[in-house]
Structure 1
Amino acid sequence: MLNHNPRDILAAGPDAIAAAFGVPNSTPHPLADELNTAPLSRMAYAAGLAIRPQQPHENDRTVMARGMQSSDFAAMLAAAGTTLANRRFSAVAEHRAFCAEIECRDFKPTAICTTDIDSEMAEVGEQGEITQGRVIVGNGTEAQLRTFARYLRASRALIVNDDVGMLADAAAQLGTAGARTEAREVYAVLEANPTLDDGELVFHADHGNIVASAFDATSLGAAMAALRTMTLMGGNQADLPAAHLVVAADLELAARKLIHESGLQITVTATGRLTTGRWYLLPAPEVAPTVGVLKLRGASNPILVEPWQDEFAYDGAVMRARCDTGAVLVARTLIRGGV
C-alpha cells in the first residue's frame, strides 16, 4: 500500500491532510502530492506500521485500525482541524468587530479596569515647567475565562473511505460553534447591564449613555451626540466618534438602510440574541474599548483542536475542540438604545 518509509509518509501527513482539507501551503512536503488521492487511509496505514510492522496474519485494514488509535494520526487530523475551525470562527464571529481582546493569565478571576487622565495636555511654560497630571483608574470589574469544548470523532468507516469532505466540514462546524458560543457571551453581558466596582450600573441615565427611543435617524443622532459629549472619569469630554451600531434582528434592514443613505462610516452588526428593538452604539475598540472578549495568554487562536483519548475505546480517531473565552463590559462609553 505504501512505496515509502512509514516515517517519511507521516512527515508528509500534515501537508497532505491540510491540502485535502483545502488549506493552502506554498511549500508542501515533497511526498504530499502522492497522498492526495487517499490521505486519511494512507496516513492511518503508515501510523499503524510505525507502531509495528504488518504481521503475516494482518490485512491492511487491521494495520489502519491500529494507526487510527495512534497519537501521530490524531495529531495530524487535529492540526488541520484547528486551521479549518479558526478560519470558520473568523468568518462567523461578527461580534469581534466591536470587541477588544483582553488577555487573561489563567482561569482565575481577572481584575479589569479603565484608565483616564485628569486633564488634557497643558502648554509648556516659559521656564519649561510641565503641569503634572494624574492617571485615574476606575470602572473596575472582574471577569473569568471559561472553557467550552466539543468532541469530534472520525469513524473507521470515514477514514477507510477517505471521506475528507465530511471530516473537513465537521471541523469547520466546530469553528461555527465556538463563534456562536462567544457571541452568546458577548450579547448576554450587554443585555445584563452589570454593575461595576463603583456600585453603579453600566447603563444608566445618570451616565448619559441611554437613549430611550426606538431606532431612527433622530435617536441615532442623539446617541452619536452622547458619545461626543459624555464626561469621562477624569472630567474630560469623551468626544468619541461612533464606529459600530449593534442591532436586534428586527432592526437590521432599517439600520443598514439608514447608515447607507446617511453615508456614515459606521459598521452595522445584527444579531438575533438581542431583545426586540434593542440597539447599541459603540466607538471603535482600538479607540475606546467597551466590550471585551477574553483569551488565554499565549493562545494564538480562539479554537484549539487536539488529540483526545476517549474514555471508552472508539473505533476511529477522537479529537477535542476547545474554546477558552468569556465577555465583559470594561467601560461606560457606549450607548444603549431602544424603548
Structure 2
Amino acid sequence: MRRYDWWNDEYYNEELSLDEGACDLSRLASGNAAVLDSHNRWGLNGQIGVVERAWIENGEGRAVLRLSARDEIAGLVKDIVDGIIRNISVGYTVQRYLVDRKEGEVPTYRAVEWQPSEISFVTVPADAGSSTRQSPDAAQGFPCVFTRASAPTNTQEIDMPNPASTPANAARAADAAPANDNPTPVAPAAAPANAVADANERAAQINELARRHGMDDNAPAWIRGDLSVDQVRAQILDQLATRDQAAGGNLNRVDTVVDEADKMRAAAADVILARGMVVDPSTRERVRAANDNPYRGMTLLEMARFSLERLGVRTAGLNKLDLVGRAFTQSGSDFPVLLENAMHRTLQAAYAIAPDTWSRFCARGSVSDFRAHPRYRTGSLGNLDALNELGEFKNKAIPDGEKASITAGTKGNIINLSRQAIINDDLGAFIGLAAMLARAAKRTVEADVYAYLASNPVMGDGFALFSNDHGNLESAGAPTVETVDAARVKLAAQKGVGNNDFLDLRPAIWLGPLSYGGTARVINSAEYDPDTANKLHKPNKVRGLFRDVVDSPRIADSKWYLFADPADAPVIEVAFLDGQDEPFLDMEEGFSVDGARWKVRLDFGIAAIDYRGAVRNG
C-alpha cells in the first residue's frame, strides 16, 4: 500500500510480512476481538460480531467470525451472507518496520512485527485481496521501531510513532496520493531535530504507560493535549484509585487461572494429538501444536525424560526401560498424567465424530445410579362437562398414570501401553487404540438399541411394545403411499393415559432396513403418487410426512417403523449414568503388564417407556 511519511517527508510502500513469527495473532485468536462496520470503533453500535479464531495458512490470514443477531443489522448480515458485502479490512498495529531504501526508488517499510486487532467489513478495501486495513488502533500512535535494511553505511534503529497513522494524516496522505511512482510532494515545514526527538520520546513513554495499565484509549488524548509524562502518571494513578474503589478495593490481586503443570501437560497432549492426526470435533480439523509448544518435535521417550528433568531428577546414565519406568513411578511426574490427557481427548474426539442413528429416533435420558429408575406418564382429564343455568360444577376424577422403568449397566474394556511401545514412539499403539475404543463404544450403544428394538420387549402392562393390544401394529408390507398413510392414521388415533382424548401424533421419522430406505425417500419427496399404475397424475398424499429417513443394516428383517418426534412422544429411552454420554477413562500403572493400562467404560441403559409414539409395519 502506498503511504506518506509526514515525519520524513516522503512516500513509501508499506508491506505486511507473513513470515513465521512476524504476525502476532494473539488478539484475534483470543475470542474477544471485534468485527466492525468500516472500522467504526467509537461506539458499541459499530460492532457487528466477534472473531472466534484466527490463523495463518499457506500465506493467507484466515478467521472464523460470528455475526450478531441484532435486528438493526439484520440487513447488513444478510448482505454478507449473500455475498454482496465481501470486502475485508484488518485493523492492526506495527511494532517494528524493516526499512529498505534503494537509490531512485520509493522506500519499502516492511512490517516484520505487527499485530491485527480487529476485522472490518468495508466497501473498498486498501488491498484488492482484502487483507489490509485502515487501522484505528494504529491511529493511536503506538511506538514502533524502524530498522534500516540495505543501508549504504550501517544499520540503525530509532523509536518513532507509527507514521501516517492518525486519521488526519491518513486522510491527508490519501488526498496527496501521487499519480505516478516517483512524486515530488510539497514538504511540510520541518521541525527542529531536537524537538522531534523529544516529542517522539514523550509519545513513546505515554503509550507504554497507557498500555501497561490498560488505558490505551486514553493515550491519544494525552499526547495531543501536550501532557508531560509526569502529568500522565498522575492521571493514571487517579484512575486506578477510582477503579479500585469501584471494585471494592480488590483490584490489586493475583488470580491463578491455570496451573503451570496443567499448562505443560496440555501442551504435551496437543503435540501427541497433532502427531496422531486426531480431529478436533468442535472444528472438524486436525489438532495442531503451537509453534512455541515446548514439547514440539519430541518423541514419547523424550517427553518422559523431560518430565523427569522438570522435577530435578537426573536422567544421565538411565537406560531407556529404566527411564520410562521412572517416569511412570516418580512422585509428581507429569508423564502418566499427560498420557492420560492425550488418551482421554482422543477418546472423546473419536467418540464425538463417530456416526450413529439411534439418537435420531430415541430419547436421551440420565440416571443417578444403577438402580431401576421409574418413568411416569400422567393421565389426562376428559373434556369439560356442560353446566346448566345455576347448575353445580362437578368434581373431575383424576385418572391413574402409567409407569415404566430404566436401569443402567456398565460395558468396557482395558488396553495396555508397554514401555517398549513408548520407547519405539509407537503412536499407533496409543492414539490408534484410543480411537478404536471410542468407535467401539459408539457402536455398542447403536447395536444394543437395535437389538432391543428387534426383541419387541414386553412392557409393564404385560403386552409387547408393538402389539394389537397397543394399537400400534400394522400388517406386513413394503412401504407404499397407502401403507405409510395407514400407519400415519394409526399413530394419530392413539389416546393418552386414561383414554380421554386423542394425542393426534404426527410421524417425524421413518425407520427401516436398507432395502426399503430408497423407497421411503421417494415416497416422502415425490410430488405425485409413485404407486399409481395408470398414466394419470395423482397427488402424493403423504409427501413430506416425515423429516428424517433412517435406514440401517442392523434391521435384518422387512419390518419398518414410523416414530413421532422423541421430544413429543418418546418410545425408547437411552439413559446414561449422571448424564455422562461419553466413555470414561481410568489409568493405572501396570503390574502384570510392563507399562500402563487404561480402562474404558460406558454406563448406560435402554428401555421402552411408552408405546404411543411409534407404529410398526410387520
TM-score by length of 1: 0.81
SS at match of 2:464: coil
Over aligned residue pairs, what C-alpha RMSD do you find? 3.6
Cα 1:211/1:220, change in 2 over 3 Å? same
* Number of the residue aligned with 2:39: none
Task: Give distance in 2, aligned partners of 1:35 and 1:56.
Answer: 20
* TM superposition shift of 1:74: 3.7
1:324 aligns with 2:603: yes
* Number of the residue aligned with 1:43: 303
> 1:42-74 CA deviation, whole Å, 9 max, x = no partner?
332334446771355314553233324678434
Identity %: 24
Task: Give distance in 2, aligned partners of 1:323 and 1:47.
Answer: 31
* Number of the residue aligned with 2:502: 237
SS at match of 1:153: strand
* TM superposition shift of 1:178: 1.0
* TM superposition shift of 1:273: 2.6
> 1:211-230 CA deviation, whole Å, 9 max, x = no partner?
12223122222112222121
| 1:302 alignment partner AA | E
* Number of the residue aligned with 2:149: none
Point out where structure 1 has 5 or more consecutive residues left out of the alignment. Answer: 124-128
* TM superposition shift of 1:144: 1.7
SS at match of 2:565: coil
Task: Give distance in 2, aligned partners of 1:178 and 1:97.
Answer: 18
Task: Give distance in 2, aligned partners of 1:185 and 1:6.
Answer: 41
SS at match of 1:321: strand
Cα 1:52/1:212, change in 2 over 3 Å? farther
| 2:344 alignment partner AA | T
Task: Give distance in 2, aligned partners of 1:273 and 1:329.
Answer: 18
Q: How does 1:49-128 map to 2 (within 5 A)?
A: 49=309, 53-59=313-319, 62-68=322-328, 72-90=334-352, 91-119=354-382
| 2:297 alignment partner AA | T
* TM superposition shift of 1:149: 0.6
- 2:575 paired residue among 294, 313, 331: 294
Asked whether the equivalents of residues 214 and 337 of structure 1 are also in contact (C-alpha less than 8 Å), the reply is no
Asked whether the equivalents of residues 242 and 283 of structure 1 are also in contact (C-alpha less than 8 Å), the reply is yes
| 1:16 alignment partner AA | V
- 2:551 paired residue among 262, 270, 274: 270
TM-score by length of 2: 0.47
Q: How does 1:103-182 map to 2 (within 5 A)?
A: 103-119=366-382, 134=398, 136-138=400-402, 140-164=403-427, 167-182=430-445
Task: Give distance in 2, aligned partners of 1:75 and 1:240.
Answer: 51
1:184 aligns with 2:437: no
| 2:455 alignment partner AA | A
Q: Which moved more, 1:206-215 or 1:33-42?
A: 33-42
* TM superposition shift of 1:205: 0.9
Task: Give distance in 1, aligned partners of 2:396 and 2:449.
Answer: 38
| 1:13 alignment partner AA | A
| Structure 1 or 2: more helix by fraction | 1
Task: Give distance in 2, aligned partners of 1:8 and 1:186.
Answer: 40
Task: Give distance in 2, aligned partners of 1:134 and 1:317.
Answer: 60
* Number of the residue aligned with 1:210: 473
Task: Give distance in 2, aligned partners of 1:32 and 1:38.
Answer: 13
Asked whether the equivalents of residues 248 and 270 of structure 1 are also in contact (C-alpha less than 8 Å), the reply is yes
SS at match of 1:16: helix
> 1:137-184 CA deviation, whole Å, 9 max, x = no partner?
20x233221111112223334323434355333222212111211122
* TM superposition shift of 1:319: 1.0
> 1:269-293 CA deviation, whole Å, 9 max, x = no partner?
2223324102121111111111100
* TM superposition shift of 1:119: 4.1
* Number of the residue aligned with 1:12: 267
Question: Across the two proteins, how many residue pairs are aligned to each other?
Answer: 328
Of the two, which has the highest radius of gyration? 2
* Number of the residue aligned with 1:126: none
- 1:306 paired residue among 571, 582, 586: 586
Cα 1:122/1:104, change in 2 over 3 Å? farther
1:279 aligns with 2:560: yes
SS at match of 1:222: helix
Q: Which moved more, 1:101-110 or 1:259-268?
A: 259-268
Asked whether the equivalents of residues 88 and 176 of structure 1 are also in contact (C-alpha less than 8 Å), the reply is yes
| 1:57 alignment partner AA | G
Cα 1:173/1:8, change in 2 over 3 Å? closer
Task: Give distance in 1, aligned partners of 2:349 and 2:316.
Answer: 44
SS at match of 1:92: coil
Asked whether the equivalents of residues 244 and 284 of structure 1 are also in contact (C-alpha less than 8 Å), the reply is yes
1:247 aligns with 2:512: yes
| Greater RCO structure (CA 8 Å; 6+ sep) | 1
1:335 aligns with 2:592: no
Cα 1:219/1:38, change in 2 over 3 Å? farther
> 1:111-155 CA deviation, whole Å, 9 max, x = no partner?
2233342247999xxxxx9997847520x2332211111122233
Cα 1:202/1:265, change in 2 over 3 Å? closer
SS at match of 1:33: coil
Asked whether the equivalents of residues 44 and 65 of structure 1 are also in contact (C-alpha less than 8 Å), the reply is no
- 2:487 paired residue among 210, 219, 223: 223
| 2:295 alignment partner AA | L
